[in-house]
């Protein structure tokens, strides 16, 4: 359709597309105590007979972007997510075949890969109980960091990591908190607990070459204890999980006197699928990126002084 512009010259609407970008969907599938995760970022772009909405403002051909988002969540429940490709094919076919004016659908999907955190039985598991398999670490390397300070006398070595993303798909609750007139958060008795770990730990090494820790072994062991504590802790809050992660390091690693964590609570909200006639039995989640709770604390060996700065970004 050609419309005169303000200057009287003809103006054409060129290529156009629309849809909801970056719908973050996490789908948990349960196979007894073994959980499987699919974590996608889905962007829908639809095009077709969309001149009127641009030119006259009639929305008669417009399937709302909000609906395309809902479709992603509903399909995650109804059809599951076997692979990003299959999921995308399903969505694209649905939009083009169910809506006359939509002639083309482009579905872009990013998939975030997760690996299981293996938890050896240290004797605390109930007899006969299986290894819990609901703890995951995001694939890809975290960043390892260290800071060394020397004033000619005293040494201080603080090492750590950032961007280690972990998730428990069950064994997390949050309830019994203060409720004032502004509190709307529903109590949770089975929620996802996920965080992007930023941690620092201070060594008690005083500069003697003969007692220098094996820094690489220490790092690997700290990382292992941290992950296992995250996986093993039946969590009533991220604060409690943080403390367990720090305590496990202090307990197992004599070379470390102090640990500090900064843990963003990566909220996963259950999607309400009732409007589409579907039950959501803790299967389909919206992974929100902000705002996020930010839980920070130091865990110390008894009798030692805290020296790691409160704000880890200042380290």
Ligand X SMILES: O=c1[nH]c(=O)c2[nH]c(=O)[nH]c2[nH]1
Please say if 267 is a catalytic residue. Answer: yes
Whose Cβ is closer to ligand X: residue 45's or residue 238's?
238
Contacts of 57 (CB under 8 A, 6+ apart): none
Q: Residues 65, 67, 146, 298: which is the catalytic one?
A: 65
106 is written with which tokens?
A: 């482009």
Contact 174, 168 (CB under 8 A): no
- Closest to 26 in 3D by CA, of 76, 63, 85, 89: 76
Q: Does the active-site annotation cover 65?
A: yes
3-state secondary structure 277-304: CCCCCCCEEEECCCCCEEEEEEEECCCC
Element containing residue 23 per DSSP (H, E): strand 23-31
Taking the complex as a whole, the smallest distance from the CB of residue 188 to ligand X amounts, in Å, to 8
In angstroms, the CA 284 to CA 37 distance is 10
Count of positions on this chain that bind ligand X (CB under 6 A): 7
CB 144, min distance to ligand X, A:
26
Residues in 156-175 at the binding interface with ligand X, rule: CB under 6 A: 174
Cβ–Cβ under 8 Å, residues 201 and 258:
yes
Selected binder of ligand X within 43, 61, 146, 239 (CB under 6 A): 239
Active site (annotated) includes residue 233: no
Task: Out of 35, 38, 134, 267, pick the active-site residue.
Answer: 267
65 is known to lie in a ligand binding site = yes
The answer to whether 218 touches 226, Cβ cutoff 8 Å, is: no
Is 238 one of the binding residues for ligand X (CB under 6 A)? yes
The residue within the footprint of ligand X, chosen from 185, 210, 277, 313 (CB under 6 A), is: 185
- Per DSSP, the three-state class of 71 is helix
In angstroms, rounded to a whole number, what is the distance separating the alpha carbons of residues 143 and 215?
15
CB nearer ligand X, residue 155 or residue 175: 175
CB of 106 to ligand X, least distance (A): 36
Q: For the CB of residue 274, give the shortest distance to ligand X in the complex, in Å.
A: 23
Q: Which is nearer to ligand X, 78 or 296 (CB)?
A: 296
Site string for ligand X, 260-279 (x = CB under 6 A): -----x--------------
Residue 245: alpha-carbon gap to chain centroid:
18
Least spacing, CB of residue 189 vs ligand X, in Å: 13
Q: 3-state secondary structure string, 140-159?
A: CCCEEEEEEEECCCCEEEEE
Q: Which residue stretch of 47-55, 225-233, 234-242, 250-258 sits at the interface with ligand X (rule: CB under 6 A)?
A: 234-242
By the rule CB under 6 A, 233 interacts with ligand X: no
Cβ neighbors of 99 (< 8 A, separation 6 or more) are 48, 63
Is residue 265 annotated as involved in ligand binding?
Answer: yes
Q: Does 213 bind ligand X (CB under 6 A)?
A: no
Cite the annotated binding site by residue number.
Answer: 65-66, 174, 191, 239, 265
**Residues designated catalytic:** 20, 65, 267
Contacts to ligand X by CB under 6 A: 174, 185, 237-239, 265, 293
């Amino acid at each position: 359709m050609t419309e005169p512009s303000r200057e009287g010259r003809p103006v054409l609407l060129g290529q156009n597309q629309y849809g909801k970008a970056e719908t973050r969907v996490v789908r948990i599938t349960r196979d007894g105590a073994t959980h499987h995760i699919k974590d996608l970022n889905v962007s829908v772009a639809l095009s077709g007979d969309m001149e009127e909405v641009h030119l006259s403002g009639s929305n008669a051909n417009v399937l709302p972007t909000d609906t395309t988002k809902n479709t992603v969540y509903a399909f995650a429940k109804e059809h599951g997510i076997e692979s990003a490709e299959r999921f995308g094919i399903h969505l694209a076919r649905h939009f083009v075949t169910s809506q006359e004016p939509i002639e083309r659908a482009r579905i872009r999907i990013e998939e975030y890969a997760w690996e299981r955190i293996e938890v050896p039985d240290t004797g605390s598991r109930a007899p006969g109980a299986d290894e819990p398999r609901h703890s995951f670490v995001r694939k890809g390397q975290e960043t390892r960091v260290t800071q060394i300070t020397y004033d000619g006398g005293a040494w201080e070595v603080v090492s750590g990591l950032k961007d280690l993303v972990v998730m428990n798909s069950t064994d997390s609750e949050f309830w019994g908190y203060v409720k004032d007139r502004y509190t709307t958060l529903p109590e949770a008795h089975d929620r996802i607990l996920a965080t992007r770990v930023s941690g620092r730990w201070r060594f008690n090494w005083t500069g003697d070459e003969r007692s220098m820790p094996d820094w690489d072994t220490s790092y690997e062991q700290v990382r292992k204890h941290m992950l296992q504590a995250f996986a093993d802790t039946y969590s009533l809050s991220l604060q409690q999980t943080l403390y367990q992660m720090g305590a496990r390091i202090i307990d197992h690693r004599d070379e470390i006197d102090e640990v500090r964590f900064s843990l963003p609570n990566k909220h996963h909200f259950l999607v309400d699928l009732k409007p589409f006639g579907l039950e959501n039995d803790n299967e389909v989640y919206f992974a929100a990126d902000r705002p996020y709770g930010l839980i920070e604390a130091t865990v110390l060996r008894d009798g030692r002084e805290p020296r790691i700065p409160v704000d880890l970004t200042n380290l």
